[in-house]
Structure 1
Amino acid sequence: MINKIIGFILIILSFLGGWTWMDYQNALTLPALTGTQPVYIEIGKGDSLTRIADKLVEQNLTFKPFWFKVIAFQKKVAKKLKTGEYELTPGLTIPEILALFEQGKTKQYAITFLEGWRFSEIMQEVASNPHLEHTLSFKAVPEPDSSSKTVDFQEVMSRLGADTKSPEGLFFPDTYFFEKHMPDMSLLKRAYDRMQSVLQREWLNRAENLPFKTPYEALTLASIIEKETATVAERPLIAGVFIRRLENDMLLQTDPAVIYGMGENYQGDIGFADIKTATPYNTYVIRGLPPTPIAMPGRDAIYAALHPDKSKSLYFVARGDGTHVFSSTLKDHNQAVNRYQRKKK
């Protein structure tokens, strides 16, 4: 019926002047956006077809709003245009623009959470992103021993429905794409759900006889592995060292956990007093794993924690080039320390 009405209108207009039919054909086939740069338009909730056409005119698109509305009705999409921000590239015709609006192909923004980041770094990235809708009342979280900070990150955990008090390590590091005005909690939930999914999948496929009671314990070790090395091939080796230390009731003695426990007191170096000062994360003092993860581990680190190397090494020391020397005896380890660490001092 709509097409018949529009056709009737076009017939009448054609009698009024041949230019009218040509105008209609141009609206169908010629680019509405010329030039070399894209333009952006945001369709808001409740925007009428007339308001949408006006917004396009404001962006200097070369078309007549009358034909925009005629074509929208002709294609039966006038009431199907979806809200959101759209990127319109040069060369698009009115029918192509309407198809974008109908399909809801909105502009996507990206935010990246890096492997090894703390939750405080995630929140800084979220809080500074201008394209998200900010619903949370804080921009950072307190470090483990910083009682002077009063920011309550439990709001996030509560809104996620999580039964873990600390948010550390529970958000998967990745690049996430989102539409403009997505609520910050919606984005965080995606990262949280992704970590739960990855962790559960890896847990179900774990090696046998590991000293973990829960996936969360594996996540905690994975976070330490993540901070110990960026070399993917070494992660199972480092995981093997820590697994054997746990099995032999040895101290983990991992510096990244100590640093995490120091919080704001860490100034770029660990001293003798630091490794003697008890904190829940000082693995030179406490036995077993720290109480929570210390960072966001990636998939490789999680896999390594659940598929550790089966050799006999119990020690490792950094060479200074991003790799490590692994030793199975304290004597060999001390020799490696003398070669690669003490000589530098």
Structure 2
Amino acid sequence: MNEEKNSNDFEKKHTNLGKKISLSIIAILIVLGIFIFILGHQYVKESLKPLNPKDKELIQVQIPMGASDKKIGSILQESKIVKSGLVFDYFVNSHNYSGLKAGYYELSPSMSLQKIADKLKKGGTAQPLQGKYGRLLVREGDNIDEIAQSVEQSSEYSSADFKKLMKDTDFLNQLKKKYPKLLGSAFKAKNRKYVLEGYLYPATYNSQKNVTLKQIVNQMVAKTNYEFSPYFKEIKKQNLTVDEAITLASFIEHNHVDKKDQEKIAGILYNRLNSNLPLEVQSSIRYANGKVSGQKLSKKDYDADTPYNLYKNTGFPPSAINNPTVKSLDSILNPKDMTTFYLAYSVNMNDKKVKYYNSDKDVDDLIGNDSVMR
């Protein structure tokens, strides 16, 4: 009996010990699982952000034909465009991005996953975008000084060669004669930094070794004429010159916001013009002073005596401040919310969210703030 009792006690103790060990293991696994989940969630959260918001260097990336979303994510990670290729794959699938296209792209670590996915959905170029004697890319919102840098990178011509051509009176007059409806009003404006600012359409152009610099510029102006000429009648109907419409469109282009906000900002520009108020576009001052987007403006900049200072001068500046797309021009011709009578706006540079105001006083405290644009 005693032996049987001892045997039962031993079995109970053994069973209890086994249960304790099992529970301990389960508890450890649960804690470990929670820890892994938190780390994983944090990793995904961080990977959904731009890899490096301050690094705006454009890196050429080639996406091959037939590449899966997973493969594309891997290429982007290896190219140091995104933090995690797997998270990029998760993002495009969870946001229903289908049909990402092959081609050459210029992407930067500062781009959001959404912006990268949008570009990949739109499609790349069949030829490389970087390197000598190939394809020259004019980006949306580039001005002539920025295009000059692209010319030097992607052709046999220097930045100085390009800027010299932009001042070549004989060449400019040839273009005016070829495209009188497009360029006529631009030649009437005084104190322009460049006559062709606003008329070099954002696109990819042939810059191979056998193509002259004049031919490259001709391609750009011809593309502008092709894209903008369907709007000439509507521009005239709205009592604008082609140059005035393109100038307003360049302000819209600078902000890089969606179509809905573009049209509302257009409404604000018209409200200010109709009220004889200065347009107060910061980007125009930056253009005059050669400062890049987001670069802080000083009191000296705001007080500068230049026709591009739209805080001191009413009406239009001498020219556009960049080369806009047809999307921005269409927004200028279809403004929204003018009856609400917004007079000011601010654009957050980080998330591109736009705020609207009924008076300048509501936005004056944002002047000079690096996180907003106007």
With normalisation by structure 2, the TM-score equals 0.52
Q: Which has the higher contact order (CA 8 A, sep 6+)?
A: 1
Distance 1:180-1:201 versus aligned 2 partners, 3 A rule: same
* 1:199–1:219 CA contact under 8 A, matched in 2: no
Do structure 1's residue 258 and structure 2's residue 280 form an aligned pair?
Answer: no
Do structure 1's residue 203 and structure 2's residue 232 form an aligned pair?
Answer: yes
Q: Is the partner of 1:196 in helix, strand or coil? A: helix
Counterparts of 1:289 and 1:327, CA distance in 2: 22
Aligned mate of 1:160, from 175, 179, 201:
175
Aligned mate of 2:352, from 312, 317, 322:
322
Counterparts of 2:320 and 2:352, CA distance in 1: 22
Query: How far off its partner does 1:265 sit?
Result: 11
- Name the Cα RMSD after superposition: 3.6
Name the counterpart of 1:169.
Answer: 198
Distance 1:253-1:159 versus aligned 2 partners, 3 A rule: same
Once the two structures are superposed, residues 214-260 of structure 1 have per-residue CA deviations (whole angstroms, 9 ceiling, x without a partner) of 11110111111111334343111111110111111111000000111
* 1:239–1:305 CA contact under 8 A, matched in 2: yes
Comparing 113-122 with 324-333, which one deviates more in the overlay? 324-333
Do structure 1's residue 233 and structure 2's residue 260 form an aligned pair?
Answer: yes
Mapping of 1:1-345 within 5 angstroms?
A: 109-130=134-155, 134=157, 138-141=160-163, 152-154=167-169, 156-161=171-176, 164=187, 166-177=195-206, 180-206=209-235, 210=238, 212=240, 214-263=241-290, 268-311=295-338, 312-320=341-349, 321-330=351-360, 332-333=362-363, 337=366
With normalisation by structure 1, the TM-score equals 0.56
Counterparts of 1:153 and 1:118, CA distance in 2: 18
* 1:319–1:341 CA contact under 8 A, matched in 2: no
* Structure 1, gaps ≥5 residues long: 1-106, 143-149
* 2:162–2:213 CA contact under 8 A, matched in 1: no
Distance 1:155-1:122 versus aligned 2 partners, 3 A rule: farther
Counterparts of 2:293 and 2:207, CA distance in 1: 35
Q: Counterpart amino acid of 1:224?
A: F
Q: Counterpart amino acid of 2:288?
A: G
Distance 1:220-1:192 versus aligned 2 partners, 3 A rule: same
Distance 1:211-1:317 versus aligned 2 partners, 3 A rule: farther
**Percent of residue pairs bearing the same amino acid type:** 21
* Structure 2, gaps ≥5 residues long: 1-126, 129-133, 178-183, 188-193
* 1:206–1:307 CA contact under 8 A, matched in 2: no
* 1:124–1:139 CA contact under 8 A, matched in 2: no
Distance 1:179-1:171 versus aligned 2 partners, 3 A rule: same
Distance 1:265-1:177 versus aligned 2 partners, 3 A rule: closer
* 1:203–1:306 CA contact under 8 A, matched in 2: no
Name the counterpart of 1:26.
Answer: none
Q: Counterpart amino acid of 2:334?
A: H
* 2:152–2:159 CA contact under 8 A, matched in 1: no
* 1:220–1:294 CA contact under 8 A, matched in 2: yes
Query: How far off its partner does 1:172 sit?
Result: 0.6
Structure in which a larger fraction of residues adopt helix: 2
Q: Is the partner of 2:355 in helix, strand or coil? A: strand
Counterparts of 1:223 and 1:342, CA distance in 2: 20
Once the two structures are superposed, residues 6-56 of structure 1 have per-residue CA deviations (whole angstroms, 9 ceiling, x without a partner) of xxxxxxxxxxxxxxxxxxxxxxxxxxxxxxxxxxxxxxxxxxxxxxxxxxx
Q: Counterpart amino acid of 2:163?
A: V
Distance 1:157-1:318 versus aligned 2 partners, 3 A rule: same
Counterparts of 1:151 and 1:189, CA distance in 2: 12
Counterparts of 1:183 and 1:151, CA distance in 2: 14
Count the aligned residue pairs. Answer: 224
Q: Is the partner of 1:141 in helix, strand or coil? A: helix
Comparing 219-228 with 251-260, which one deviates more in the overlay? 219-228
Counterparts of 2:305 and 2:150, CA distance in 1: 31
Distance 1:323-1:139 versus aligned 2 partners, 3 A rule: farther
Q: Is the partner of 2:345 in helix, strand or coil? A: strand
